[in-house]
């Protein structure tokens, strides 16, 4: 019997990893007869299925004030505690209203119980889940201990309570084996690994006109070679290595394009990258308009470009991340059959590399051998085709919607055995 499933986070909009993965989960769940509804501080989903609460966003002004007074500080003033609890009560009432409006049977909390970017929301959720004993899946994409900015704070009491909470009616899902081990070590909480996925059973439908138009909009000529770095502009993405690669290729046709916006961790890195590219004579293009989520239930009503317009435009993908929870962009590049440079970040080494993919692999350095490998690959359509087809077939076996559906069905069944 289909359930009314409520997704809750600070934001379901755009092309951040949390929003994208939630869209995939919802797509699979709805194909299995469930109905999905959305609660967040920013939403780009079908309005009839949404419950918008701007105060739940991590960029809400009151929440930003709270964070400024607890993150990076060792002492918390009573006025900050009072504000946190006022927001907690407000958000708690909104969550109850949302649950009643859509008659929610099961909650899926996306990262809002993982990282204390919105502490009042995390506290409100923990209390509601405890009071209602509502079946809940806490989907953790990354944890606070993976971000150095959270290591000094004046809110350890709240973090221990809600990030994440250890409650009997919550089943925890992580996206890699290191997170599973660290979660158990730090909290005693057991979890299920469900890696990121894509619909490899159905190859992407490509709008060639949109792809061509996007290339033109960022100023590329027909003979330009587009090197796409499809990540947010934050320092752990290692985008300087993409600049180094393009510099080493020594060919003015190569243009480096970054499709995603700056992240939530400051804009100094963007300025430095721009200066670095200029210094080394690398043509760097930053696309500053918002790219929409092609998997959103409201995708057909969104204007501008979707992520699925960007990948077909690219000739080569760089993914030099230093740290990733899993690596959505890596799967997306495989899905669109693009050759890829990937750095050996920890999750890649532990969970992905041994599956037999064929990438251009770097290990913290762009060497002359790597540059020659990329040159040779770009000059041989046969080698390129063989590489991308192999990668697509391997990903189909390990990271498909079929695998996601099996995992989700098992989790949901464990809550509703008697149904």
Bridge partners for 285 per DSSP: 257
CATH superfamily, domain at 4-197+401-415: Glycogen Phosphorylase B; (3.40.50.2000)
User: Which whole-number Å values give the CA distances from 346 to 149, 327, 333, 351, in the listed order?
Assistant: 20, 11, 19, 8
Q: Which of 62-71, 126-135, 143-152 has the lowest mean pLDDT?
A: 143-152
Q: What is the mean pLDDT of residues 141-156?
A: 94
What's the rounded Cα separation, in Å, for the pair 402 and 398?
9
Residue with tokens 């695998």: 403
Q: In what order do the strands lie in the sheet with 340-343?
A: 284-286, 254-258, 225-229, 316-319, 340-343, 360-362
Q: How many CA atoms lie within 13 A of 123 on its CB side?
A: 20
**pLDDT tops 70 at residue 301:** no
Query: 25 or 261: whose pLDDT is higher?
Result: 25
CB 4 within 8 A of CB 384: no
In this structure, the number of other CB atoms found within 10 A of the CB of residue 364 comes to: 11
Per-residue pLDDT tens over the stretch 41-86:
999 999 999 999 999 999 999 999 999 999 999 999 999 999 999 9
What's the rounded Cα separation, in Å, for the pair 318 and 406?
31
What's the rounded Cα separation, in Å, for the pair 367 and 364?
9
Residue 110 dihedral angles phi and psi, to the nearest 5°: -100, 95
**pLDDT tops 70 at residue 253:** yes
CATH of 208-398 given 3.40.50.2000, 3.40.50.11690, 3.30.70.1710, 3.40.50.720: 3.40.50.2000
Q: What is the mean pLDDT of residues 192-207?
A: 93
Q: How confident is the model at residue 303 (pLDDT cuts 50, 70, 90)?
A: low
Token pair listed for 188:
């005693």
Distance of CA 249 to the CA centre of its chain: 30
Q: For the chain, give the percent of residues with pLDDT over 90.
A: 80
**pLDDT tops 90 at residue 196:** yes
pLDDT value of residue 272: 92
**pLDDT tops 70 at residue 289:** no
Token pair listed for 326:
């899993």
**pLDDT tops 70 at residue 264:** no
What's the rounded Cα separation, in Å, for the pair 155 and 189?
21
Q: How confident is the model at residue 91 (pLDDT cuts 50, 70, 90)?
A: very high
What's the per-residue H, E or C state across the chain? CCCEEEEECCCECCCCHHHHHHHHHHHHHHHCCCEEEEEECCECCCHHHEEECHHHCCCCHHHHHHHHCCECCCCCCHHHHHHHHHHHHHHHHHHHHHHHHCCCCEEEEECCCCCCCCHHHHHHHHHHHHHHCCCEEEEECCCHHHCHHHCCECCHHHHHHHCCCCCCCEEEEECCHHHHHHHHHHHCCCEEECCCCCCCCCCCCCCHHHHHHHHHHCCCCCCCEEEEECCCECHHHCHHHHHHHHHHHCCCCEEEEECCCECCCCCHHHHHHHHHHHHCCCCEEECCCCCECCCCCCHHHCCCCEHHHHHHHCCEEEECCCCCCCCHHHHHHHHCCCCEEEECCHHHHHHHHHHCCCCEEECCCCCHHHHHHHHHHHCCHHHHHHHHHHHHHHHHHHCCHHHHHHHHHHHHHHHCCCC
pTM (2 d.p.): 0.89
Residues of each domain in the chain carrying CATH 3.40.50.2000: 4-197+401-415, 208-398
Per-residue pLDDT tens over the stretch 363-417:
999 999 999 999 999 999 999 999 999 999 999 999 999 999 999 999 999 998 7
What's the rounded Cα separation, in Å, for the pair 232 and 264?
9
Residue with tokens 């949390």: 18
Q: Are strands 225-229 and 191-193 parallel, antiparallel or unpaired?
A: unpaired
Q: What is the mean pLDDT of residues 12-17?
A: 86
Average predicted confidence (pLDDT) for the chain? 93
What's the per-residue H, E or C state across 91-108? HHHHHHHHHHHCCCCEEE
């Amino acid at each position: 019997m289909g359930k009314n499933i409520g997704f809750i986070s600070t934001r379901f909009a755009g092309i951040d990893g949390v929003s994208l993965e939630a869209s995939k989960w919802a797509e699979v769940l709805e194909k299995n007869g469930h109905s999905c509804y959305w609660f967040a501080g920013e939403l780009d989903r079908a309005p009839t299925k949404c419950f918008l609460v701007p105060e739940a966003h991590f960029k809400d002004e009151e929440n930003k004030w709270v964070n400024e007074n607890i993150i990076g500080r060792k002492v918390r003033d009573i006025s900050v505690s009072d504000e946190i609890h006022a927001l907690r009560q407000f958000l708690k009432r909104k969550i109850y209203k949302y649950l009643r409006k859509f008659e929610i049977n099961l909650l899926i909390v996306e990262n809002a119980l993982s990282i204390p970017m919105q502490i009042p929301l995390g506290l409100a959720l923990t209390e509601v889940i405890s009071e209602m004993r509502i079946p809940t899946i806490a989907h953790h994409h990354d944890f606070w201990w993976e971000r150095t900015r959270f290591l000094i704070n004046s809110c350890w009491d709240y973090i221990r309570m809600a990030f994440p909470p250890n409650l009997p009616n919550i089943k925890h899902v992580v996206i890699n084996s290191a997170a599973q081990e660290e979660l158990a070590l730090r909290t005693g909480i057991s979890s299920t690994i469900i890696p990121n996925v894509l619909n490899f059973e159905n190859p992407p439908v490509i709008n060639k006109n949109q792809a061509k138009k996007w290339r033109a909009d960022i100023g590329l000529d027909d003979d330009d070679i587009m090197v796409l770095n499809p990540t947010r502009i934050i320092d752990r993405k290692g985008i300087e290595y993409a600049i180094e690669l393009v510099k080493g290729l020594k060919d003015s046709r190569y243009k480096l394009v970054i499709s995603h916006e700056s992240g939530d961790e400051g804009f100094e890195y963007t300025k430095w990258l721009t200066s670095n590219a200029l210094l080394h004579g690398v043509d760097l293009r930053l696309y500053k308009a918002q790219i929409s989520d092609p998997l959103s239930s409201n995708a057909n009503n969104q204007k501008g470009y979707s992520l699925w317009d960007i990948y077909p435009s690219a000739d080569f993908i760089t993914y030099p991340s230093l740290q990733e929870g899993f690596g959505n962009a890596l799967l997306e590049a495989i899905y669109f059959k693009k050759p890829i440079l990937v750095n050996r970040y920890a999750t890649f080494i532990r969970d992905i590399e041994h599956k037999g993919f064929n990438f251009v692999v770097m290990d913290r350095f762009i060497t002359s051998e790597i540059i020659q490998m990329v040159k040779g690959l770009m000059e041989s359509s046969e080698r390129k085709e063989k590489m991308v087809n192999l990668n697509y077939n391997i990903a189909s076996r390990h990271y498909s919607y079929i695998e996601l559906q099996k995992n989700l069905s098992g989790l949901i069944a464990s809550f509703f055995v008697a149904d």
